[in-house]
Amino acid sequence: MTNVKKRCTLTISCKDKIGIVAEVASYLRDNGCFILESSYFGDAHTGKFFMRTVFSTDSLNYKHNEFVHGFGGIKKKFGMAVDLFDNSILPRVVIMVSRLDHCLNDLLYRYRTGDLKIQIPAIVSNHMDLASLAEWHKIPFIHIPVTKDTKDVAEAKLLRVVDDAKCELVVLARYMQVLSDELCKKLGGRCINIHHSFLPSFKGAQPYHRAYDRGVKLIGATAHYVTADLDEGPIIEQGVERIDHSQSVDDFVAVGRDVESLTFSRAIRAHVEHRVFLNGSKTVVLK
């Protein structure tokens, strides 16, 4: 019987030094691992190094803890932050949404067809409008209403959902509530928002209307990690479309829906495939 090959993803970040790639490749070779993908980047400005490697190995011989322990010498030598992921385990993603459904619909289609390889343990909303959509996909829908007076209670409920679901990522699919500073910190590096503007321009509310008033020729969308600074988190992905003077605000919004959906799904895919590395106020997204 042929052994099934296990696929794993190894991610590394550390201070940039000579010999990192060679050491990693040699370790994988010596431990019977076949490299399928490898990409890396050294930032000359910050002096940091980032690497992502996908490899396959004999599943009968592979033991996660032994691999991590054996890699410890290289990790210590270079002062690395290291993560190892089993690619057969699909990341668990909680989706938050309000009433607009275009980004949610797009994500659910990609999820349903297997294009986006994730698990969705829950869809959370502050309104009931999209409950039937979640039900059709057989995904638990959790209604957590939010008012000025109940915000603390609502966010505590949300954190319980995230913890109970053993969620690795929270995505805000046009969730139209500003998260508190405390919640942003607790979800740091694992919460992605889609903003309907090409940041850093037109932050905040009604960006399409303000873009229209300015007579812009490009509109876009920005997917970024959520931080306590509204719409200023590290940018993961952006997209743009050309428009002109003949188009109305409604036209802007219609074009924007497509850009938002595509930009959002690309950012989520990059995160769950472990391609995104935080680099100060920016990100490195390895191909």
Residues designated as active site:
231
* Cβ 263 vs Cβ 171: under 8 Å: no
Residues 6 or more apart whose CB falls under 8 angstroms from that of 60 comprise 3
For residue 83, CA distances in Å to 72, 80, 269, 275, 276 come to 12, 10, 18, 12, 12
Q: Which of 92, 77, 70 is nearest to 10 (CA)?
A: 70
Rg of the chain's alpha carbons, rounded to an integer?
21
Tokens found for residue 52: 């992502």
Q: Are 197 and 222 in contact (CB under 8 A)?
A: yes
Task: Give the relative orientation of helices 102-113 and 249-272 as an angle to the nearest 10 degrees.
Answer: 40
Are residues 72 and 58 in contact, defined by beta-carbon separation less than 8 angstroms?
no
Structure tokens at 254: 């219609």
